[in-house]
Amino acid sequence: MKLGPVRISVIYLLISIIWITLSDKLLFLFRNSFNEDFVEIINSGKGLFFVLVTSMLIWYLIRLNNKRLSQSEHKYRLIYEDSPIPNWVYDLESLRFVSVNESAIKQYGYSRNEFLSMTILDIRPAEEQYKVLEALRSVSSNIKKSGTWMHCKADGTLLHVIINSQQIVFENKPCVMVAVQDVSETINYETKLKQLNADLLRQKEKLSETQQIVQVGGWEFYLDTRQLLWSDEMYIITDVEPNPALNLYELYVDHIHPEDRPAMIEGLEMLVEKGKQLNVTHRITLLNGQERYLRQVARLEYLDGKPYKVIGTTQNVTELKQLESERNRYLFSLEDTLNNINEGFYTLNENLVFTNVNKKFELETGLSKADIIGKEFKEVFPGAEERITYRQYEKALAEKTSLKFEAYWQHFKQWHHVSAYPTEDGIAVYFTDITEKKQNEINLNEVIERYEIVTKATQDVIYDYDVIDDSLIFNTRITELIDCEIDHIGGDLRWWRSLIHPDDREDVLRSQQKVIANKEQIWRYEYRIKCGVDVYKYIYAQAYYIYNNDNEVVRIIGAVKDIDQLKRANEENKRLADIITKVNNMIVVMDTEHRITWVNKAFEMYTGNTYAQVKGHYPKDLLGASLVSEELIQEICERKRKLETFTVDLKHHLRNDEIQWVNIEYTPLFNDCAEHIGYIAVYNNITERKDKEEKIYKQNKILQEISWLSSHEIRKPVASILGLVYLAKDSESEEEKDEIIQMINICAEELDEIVHTITDKISNELYVGKDSIELQELK
């Protein structure tokens, strides 16, 4: 039994009424037995006894009630603390937490002390704090559901929660007790479900659009009744008007191309009899006589274990078939183009297996296309994996970068200049035979090597330059080279560069910077240095560059040879040799004022002017200076002023007003005292070469563009189409197939655009107009 203040008061009232009533009646009954004084004493004693007994009774009842209240509060505290639902109590005035249970501490990640130092606004996002303050106005002693709110955990995570609150008195203060239910998973699930539904709706809309774009229709064929039902799209594809009276099956079969009809019927029979999926492409003749290509894909449905219906899909693939035909035609044209270029060409896949070669490759290597297609590069050329070519191909594949390099083919005893370009399937390689050029370089290197051996017996200047300390050290021969005392020899790079001829200084610095930029080690250069007052000598400088681990130059060791006399003697010998060996070309000797002092017979014959007629005139007045640009004339004059030996290509007039291209080699002339006395110019007719170079340049430029489009741009959409076709074959989902077909159509449009670009270049640039390139010139 629970006792409260009201019940205790009621009990006290009842006992008081009973005691007063009974005691007064007993005293009234015995009033004659006692005198008045004794009755007065009894009456007073009765009241005292009542007060004493009732006081003890009230004390006992209150003590019993407090004990039961304490037990009830303890049970309530246990329920509050052990509740699996987060609970807390906060002060209604300060909004500060005054009590939290263990579930709240675990759920939110705050410690108890952290909770008790916070207010209920601290666990709310900023945008909800105003709403919390508004909700506090409706707090009551009744349990209130406050809806869904956002709470912040200690780690910053947001929770979706439902709150039940009730106003209570806690520690003699008005407070609010809150119970929290975490509904984050439910909210997240509902959000994901909404997103999923939205995605499904978009996919459905996309599928509908795809079917309209790719011309796909559906049909059903019932085996028992041989009834064929079409979707609306099928009527559009076949150009047939819907008519319930039509026997669609017979109509359709009758209009299948006679050559394709057996394959379609056989495929349908194999589907019904053996359950083999139908996948047939055939032609159909429309009612208006137009021919279309249709692809049929169908599957069998069963009822009670027996086949009863065929469900199929039809796609109009006429444009795709036309594109395939067009692609094959242009691929053949591309193959023909590759076979007529002047470079050897072959392609390798990602495993370095040959996939294609051109005629030039077969001629250069002596290997036929049929013998090497499908074979690995190292199988065709044993030992190739140990050579630079194979390593460069691997690098091009790994880094997807274009590479150009020179390599010696041991199998054919040839030097090749090789260009490798990454493609979608592997790499495309172009190569040119440079054996003759390379042999010339080797011979030149051998000459230089022999020359260096000879210089060991000469008095070369040896130097050592420390780049970090800017310290330059020479051997004692330096004084003889520059004709100065040892005390005047500088010890840094700046001093040495001050000796270089001003006209040569920038070229020397540029050549050194090029060596450093390319991380090369050998540097060689000829230039002039100051060896006295206004006296310069030609020297041949060589250097070996030493790099640290960071590829920075730290030391340069080299030698300087005095080649002044050799240089001048060689130049004089060259001039004499040119006059002797080139007597069939026009030769003009000029003075320092650029006037003609002598011409040979070839000059008289080509120009129609005698020596007496041209002597003292300027060559430009006789050979048509109007055909030469002002910039070139200025360049020639400037280089003559610098006494350089140089060559230029320009046009000039013949005596019949015909225009001719010539290569003119200008060489300065000096007397025995090394004084400049004029120039000698040797004219070489290069008209035919220039014409061919112009044609070859146009041809190569167009063919390079066509080759690029063919080897790079076509492969991308073709590879994509092939991959999508195989993917479509393996796919069992109609939705996926429809999406794949749309992607194939996009790739086909890209391929068509590339093919038209190649056709335009071939038709409009390669074989059009009077300057078009003849086929025999492309072979």
Using DSSP's 3-state secondary structure scheme, residue 403 falls into strand
The residue out of 529, 561, 593 marking a domain boundary is 561
Residues forming beta bridges with residue 119, ordered by sequence position: 96
User: Are residues 372 and 412 both part of a single domain?
Assistant: yes
Q: Per the domain annotation, does 199 fall within a domain? A: no
User: Are residues 94 and 145 both part of a single domain?
Assistant: yes
Least confident of 96-110, 583-597, 650-664, 763-777: 763-777
Alpha carbon distance 424, 717 (integer Å):
10
Token pair 């394959």 is found at 263
Q: Per the domain annotation, does 721 fall within a domain? A: yes
User: Are residues 99 and 66 both part of a single domain?
Assistant: no
* pLDDT tens-digit readout, 112-165: 888 889 998 888 888 888 888 888 877 877 778 777 888 898 888 888 888 888
pLDDT at 769 over 60: no
* pLDDT tens-digit readout, 171-200: 788 898 888 888 888 888 888 888 888 887
Least confident of 322-331, 474-483, 562-571, 692-701: 322-331
pLDDT at site 524: 92
Alpha carbon distance 528, 545 (integer Å):
21
Top mean pLDDT of 276-285, 410-419, 693-702 is at 276-285
Per DSSP, 226 falls in state T
pLDDT at 419 over 60: yes
pLDDT class of 206 with cuts at 50, 70, 90: low
pLDDT at 520 over 80: yes
Calculate the average pLDDT of the chain. Answer: 79
User: Are residues 539 and 574 both part of a single domain?
Assistant: no
The residue out of 521, 540, 561 marking a domain boundary is 561
Top mean pLDDT of 78-92, 147-161, 610-624, 721-735 is at 147-161
pLDDT class of 65 with cuts at 50, 70, 90: low
User: Are residues 262 and 177 both part of a single domain?
Assistant: no
Give the CATH number of the domain where residue 309 resides. Answer: 3.30.450.20
Q: What are phi and psi of 726, to 5 degrees?
A: -65, -35
Q: What are phi and psi of 158, to 5 degrees?
A: -95, 140
pLDDT at 108 over 70: yes
Q: Is the pTM of this model over 0.95?
A: no
Alpha carbon distance 403, 390 (integer Å):
12
Single out the residue of 270, 277, 273, 269 nearest to residue 312, CA to CA: 277
**Ordered alpha helix ranges (H), 456-492:** 478-482
Q: Per the domain annotation, does 209 fall within a domain? A: no
pLDDT class of 775 with cuts at 50, 70, 90: very low
Using DSSP's 3-state secondary structure scheme, residue 736 falls into helix
pLDDT at site 778: 37
pLDDT at 687 over 50: yes
* pLDDT tens-digit readout, 326-375: 665 655 555 666 666 778 888 899 889 998 888 888 887 888 888 888 88
Greater confidence (757 vs 772) lies with 757
Alpha carbon distance 224, 61 (integer Å):
95
pLDDT at site 79: 59
Q: Per the domain annotation, does 440 fall within a domain? A: no
Range of the domain at 384: 330-434
pLDDT at site 507: 92
Single out the residue of 436, 439, 419, 440 nearest to residue 428, CA to CA: 419
User: Are residues 72 and 89 both part of a single domain?
Assistant: no
Q: Per the domain annotation, does 453 fall within a domain? A: no
Query: Tell me, what amino acid is at 566?
Result: L
Greater confidence (372 vs 701) lies with 372
**Beta-sheet pairing, 522-530 with 596-599:** unpaired
Alpha carbon distance 663, 499 (integer Å):
35
pLDDT at 8 over 70: no
pLDDT class of 510 with cuts at 50, 70, 90: very high
Mean predicted confidence (pLDDT) in 557-565: 85
Greater confidence (4 vs 670) lies with 670
pLDDT at 30 over 70: no
User: Are residues 417 and 356 both part of a single domain?
Assistant: yes
Greater confidence (584 vs 678) lies with 678
Mean predicted confidence (pLDDT) in 609-633: 79
Q: Token pair for residue 174?
A: 């008005």
pLDDT at site 546: 92
Least confident of 140-154, 410-424, 472-486, 686-700: 686-700
User: Are residues 15 and 66 both part of a single domain?
Assistant: yes
Least confident of 7-11, 167-171, 212-216, 317-321: 212-216
Q: Per the domain annotation, does 524 fall within a domain? A: yes
User: Are residues 675 and 716 both part of a single domain?
Assistant: no
Percent of the chain with pLDDT over 70: 82
pLDDT at site 622: 73
Alpha carbon distance 21, 28 (integer Å):
11
pLDDT at 311 over 80: yes
pLDDT at site 770: 46
pLDDT at site 773: 47
Mean predicted confidence (pLDDT) in 28-32: 65
How many domains would you assign to the chain? 7
User: Are residues 430 and 479 both part of a single domain?
Assistant: no
pLDDT at site 212: 54
Residues contacting 458, CB < 8 A, separation 6+:
561
pLDDT at 556 over 70: yes
Strand order in the sheet with 173-182: 97-100, 87-91, 173-182, 158-170, 144-152
Mean predicted confidence (pLDDT) in 564-574: 73
pLDDT at site 581: 46
User: Are residues 468 and 519 both part of a single domain?
Assistant: yes
Q: Per the domain annotation, does 483 fall within a domain? A: yes
Helix (H) or strand (E) holding 279: strand 278-285
Q: Per the domain annotation, does 480 fall within a domain? A: yes
Give CA separation, 429 vs 18, 124, 312, 432, 434, in Å: 124, 67, 47, 10, 16
The residue out of 434, 466, 492 marking a domain boundary is 434
User: Are residues 586 and 680 both part of a single domain?
Assistant: yes
Q: Token pair for residue 172?
A: 């003699």
